[in-house]
Amino acid sequence: MMICKRLLPFLVVPVCLVSSLVSAAPPADYKGRPFTDEFHKSGPPAIPGLVQCALYDLGGEGVAYHDTTKENEGSDVLNRDPDHERAHGSHYVWHFRGKEGVDLSYVKDWADLNHPNAVTPPINLFYIGWTSDGEWTNYTVDVKEPGTYSIKALYSHKVTAVDFDLNDKPAATGQVPRATESWHHWDYGPIGTITFPEAGLQLLTFHYGSGNNWAFWVFEKVVPAAPAGK
């Protein structure tokens, strides 16, 4: 899927705490698996790189995600309204992962693109919305290069705090850099940093609260991994 053509650097970097004690592989008892379907066949997203928030793991409630409502408030509720089945989309886009609990929708012409955005998202881009305190999503990621990475996000709305776990251990705490005018005004900027101590498959857990829509993260290396034993 196409991403924003203009990803701007910002000077304001939020406070970030990084744990130094994380394991280097997904927990052995983890029952989730990387998301795939007829259009997404490339397997776990690579780091460095882009991770789409809506492509959380398969496995269901309590395994791949936790959501406070059983219904998918976007794909299976709001987007059943004919006004929200936009002609630039398709049944696949309108009702993406509609029977799962995470609340998803997509960038629409008349809601997201009928006004200026600090950074304009591509039409039909999926995002997590209807966020509530205590919710989380899991992502199996393929870390190509160990080290410390900046995390930049395409997001909307309020200044909130977020947390990431790595292989079930706390790994990063960050914050949205600045608010946007509404749920459908989008911006892109740094939310924190995270350290991946080793390469390979890892389980990344995103903990979020109310106040934002989340489209994707970009992980960019800022510091190489320290030699073993250092």
* Average pLDDT of the segment spanning 88-111: 98
User: So what's the pLDDT on residue 25?
Assistant: 79
* Average pLDDT of the segment spanning 60-77: 98
User: So what's the pLDDT on residue 230?
Assistant: 55
Residue 225: pLDDT over 90: no
CB within 8 Å of 185: residues ≥ 6 apart: 115, 117, 118, 156, 157
Ramachandran angles phi, psi of 173, nearest 5° = -130, 130
Question: Which one is predicted more confidently, 224 or 92?
Answer: 92
Annotate 99-132 with three-state secondary structure. CCCCCEEECCCCCCCCCCCCCCCCCCCEEECCCC
Ramachandran angles phi, psi of 191, nearest 5° = -115, -5
Residue 68: pLDDT over 50: yes
Structural domains in the chain, CATH included, are 17-224 (2.60.120.260)
Gap between the Cα atoms of 22 and 197, Å rounded: 8
Gap between the Cα atoms of 183 and 141, Å rounded: 28
Q: E strand or H helix at 93, and its extent?
A: helix 91-94
60: left (phi over 0), alpha (psi -120 to 50) or beta: left
pLDDT band, very low/low/confident/very high, at 223 (cuts 50, 70, 90):
confident
Residue 26: pLDDT over 70: yes
Residue 217: pLDDT over 80: yes
1 near 125, Cβ under 8 Å?
yes
pLDDT band, very low/low/confident/very high, at 24 (cuts 50, 70, 90):
low
Sign of CA dihedral 69, 75, 77, 83: positive
Gap between the Cα atoms of 8 and 201, Å rounded: 29
pLDDT band, very low/low/confident/very high, at 114 (cuts 50, 70, 90):
very high
R_g (Cα) of the chain, nearest Å: 17
